[in-house]
């Protein structure tokens, strides 16, 4: 990786998401092991863990994000100052992200087994309300779905993101971008123009895992 570049996992979850198990201590261990420089903590409808991670430090730079449930599907806000309410219309949610100076990131837009935007993703792009399309999500086994996301990004001239979508410690770093370092939303977007996607499929941790019995 060239000097002055960083590894950025654009999409991951902590225990604050409710369906994930990773603690901030575990996240700190994993980013060190995986060599990740920047993490976007994008918990479901929640920013508390990301803000705590910024305050206490985890050994990697933290971008405060949120994976927001909208009426059309999931949307991620990056570089947030405040939490966005869930179940808003998707256009309103995107507008609230932009009002904070944040970036609108479209996660796994065509994955049929999650709350994805589907056709609404193209509508956001057409409205000029999308900044980044996730072109590689490490939880997607069918790579044609990541390919459709890449085609969407290319069709609208938008940069691509990549994230582990990790819900457990072993998943952290399964996908990331190698890109020039940046110091805010505008330079993040500029760096994405030359970013390299690194990733592999890594299966989901069991959702709402039950404790062992016996």
Distance CA 91, CA 93 (A): 5
In which residue are the tokens 């994955």 written?
111
pLDDT at 214 over 50: no
Distance CA 208, CA 125 (A): 33
pLDDT at 203: 83
Q: What is the mean pLDDT of residues 27-52?
A: 98
pLDDT at 205 over 80: no
Architecture of domain 5-199: Alpha-Beta Barrel (3.20)
Positive or negative, the CA dihedral 88, 27, 108, 124 is positive
Cα of 174 vs its chain's centroid, Å? 12
pLDDT at 206 over 70: no
In 3D, which of 9, 62, 39, 1 has the Cα closest to residue 175?
A: 9
In 3D, which of 2, 191, 208, 189 has the Cα closest to residue 79?
A: 189
Q: What's the chain's average pLDDT?
A: 95
């Amino acid at each position: 990786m060239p000097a002055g570049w960083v590894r950025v996992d654009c999409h991951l979850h902590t225990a604050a998401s409710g369906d994930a198990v990773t603690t901030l201590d575990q996240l700190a261990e994993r980013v060190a092991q995986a060599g990740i420089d920047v993490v976007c903590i994008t918990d479901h409808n929640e920013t508390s863990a990301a803000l705590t991670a910024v305050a206490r430090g985890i050994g990697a730079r933290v971008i405060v994000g949120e994976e927001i449930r909208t009426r059309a599907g999931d949307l991620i806000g990056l570089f947030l100052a405040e939490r966005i309410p869930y179940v808003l219309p998707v256009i309103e949610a995107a507008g609230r992200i932009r009002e904070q100076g944040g970036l609108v990131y479209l996660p796994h837009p065509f994955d049929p087994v999650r709350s994805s935007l589907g056709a609404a993703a193209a509508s956001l792009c057409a409205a000029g309300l999308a900044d980044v399309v996730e072109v590689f999500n490490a939880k997607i086994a069918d790579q044609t779905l990541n390919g459709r996301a890449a085609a969407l990004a290319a069709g609208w001239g938008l940069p691509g993101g990549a994230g582990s979508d990790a819900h457990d410690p072993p998943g952290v770093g399964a996908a990331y971008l190698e890109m020039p370092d940046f110091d805010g939303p505008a330079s993040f977007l500029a760096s994405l123009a030359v970013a390299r996607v690194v990733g592999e499929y890594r299966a989901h941790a069991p959702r709402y895992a039950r404790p062992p019995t016996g």
